[in-house]
Chain A
Amino acid sequence: MKYIDEFRDPVKAKKLVDEIHKLATSAALVERSQSQPLQIMEFCGGHTHTLFKYGIESMLPDTIEMVHGPGCPVCVLPMARVDDCVAIAEQPGVIFTTFGDAMRVPGTRKSLLQAKADGCDVRMVYSPMDALALARKHPDREVVFFALGFETTMPSTALTLLQAQREGLKNFSLFCNHITTPATMRAILTDPDLRLDGFLAPGHVSMVIGVQPYAFVAHDYHKPLVITGFEPLDILQAMWMLVKQLAEGRCDVENQYARIVPEAGNTAGLHAIHAVYETREHSEFRGLGNIGDAGVQIRAAYAGFDAEKKFNVQAASSSHDPAHLKCADVLRGVMKPWECPAFGTSCNPQTPLGALMVSPEGSCAAYYAYGKLAKRSA
């Protein structure tokens, strides 16, 4: 396929890998990686998936270690929020619609899939517009869409809400659980347990928000950051750019994915986001705890389309994972999946205990699927 195949060219990949190895042996980087390997975080779960699918980590020098970030919306969803979804789905007359990713995420009581098995009308949709079509088709039912995801997905839900308003639909609402990337990145940068050397930043979030929102990473925290796409050549080129910055002692925000990411982001998308959503005062992330201003909620002007108001959902109270699950530490990148006692035993893709094992973008599922128990057994 056009714009995909050419970014998987193995010859070009080899050249990039060679260049990365050469940079890693430069005096500056040899010295820097003496005490521990360079820690590069790929923020986005989509990048984690590409890294595993193509075995990219094993091509990298031993002096570079990838730290898998929390950029997987279902993985950072607190269990209590899944409980809220189930509670809404259990209301009479409700059709609860969601992206497929969220179906199997365990709540403290049950997952949406189990709720469906127990008789709730839970439906997987491809697009929020499909949920809107259901609301048109069933005027006697309440259709709720589980609005989940980072900025990539926010324009689609905001535009769907605005469309529902234009059509005067009264039986459509969003259960808003959107979260924002820069605020999450800031939380990671202030985590004392993490000592990162640089970031690969999510390409599709960036096509919406643009390049400037990452400036603080370089400016305030002095870390280099490269925005990148999802094909293997994208990731390798971005790694090369990032390692080059480190070798040259620079920390800049660079954009490897210019074919998709305009400098200023997407004007219409940002406009819709700002029209519909505002910062939520408190937001809890699984693993990261309360990270203040990362969450958004629907503005009061659109209260009629806000499932939280319609169904009187209280913002999720704090819900801690069972002590034997180490999801939080894995999410923050301070523990590898295989170091969790439940990994591959009581927690596996058939019976996932934590969201990281559910989503194909979760690092536990990726390690499990690709049989990669340890990069360096030593």
Chain B
Amino acid sequence: MCLGIPGQITEIVDADNLIAKVDVGGVKREVNIACIVDDEHPAKSCVGDWVLVHVGFAMSRLDEEEAARTLALLEELGDMQAELDTMRQMEGQA
């Protein structure tokens, strides 16, 4: 019920009523963007934004940096572990 899906805004259809077109995995549909615009990020600057779409509304702008950070952290987790394992093995041998 609370599911959402990431999509990219391709055009602003109606700036007054805050309606934009979003591409979700190749499917295009109009969504309401009232929840992702403010004075600093008006409707016209939304084209190209990745957003989370839920029941016809763009509910959140995807933070690309945070997404990258999460993935990098997962990458590091394994690398660090591999290093620690190697260290332990070396210790065992010494």
Contacts and interface: CB of A to CB of B under 8 A. Distances in A.
Interface of A: 1-4, 6-7, 9, 11-12, 15-16, 18-19, 44-46, 71-74, 99, 101, 126-130, 148-150, 152-153, 155-156, 159, 163, 202, 204-205, 207-208, 230, 233, 237, 256, 258-262, 266-269, 272, 359, 361
Contacts of A153: 1-2, 54-55
Given A18-B81, A19-B77, A153-B54, 13 more contacts: A1-B6, A15-B78, A45-B2, A72-B1, A73-B1, A149-B1, A150-B1, A156-B54, A156-B59, A207-B60, A230-B3, A259-B67, A261-B60
Contacts of A233: 74
Interface in B45-75: 50, 52, 54-57, 59-60, 62-64, 66-67, 69-71, 73-75
Contact of B59 (A18, A45, A204, A361): A204
A152 B60 CA distance: 11
B32 to A, nearest CB: 6
B83 to A, nearest CB: 13
Closest 3 CB pairs of A and B: A127-B56, A15-B78, A259-B67
A359 B2 CA distance: 12
Nearest to A151: B2
Interface of B: 1-6, 8, 17, 25, 32, 34-38, 50, 52, 54-57, 59-60, 62-64, 66-67, 69-71, 73-75, 77-78, 81
A269 B50 contact: no
B38 to A, nearest CB: 7
Contacts of B54: 152-153, 156, 204
Contacts of B25: 1
A156 B56 CA distance: 8
A45 to B, nearest CB: 6
A45 B75 CA distance: 28
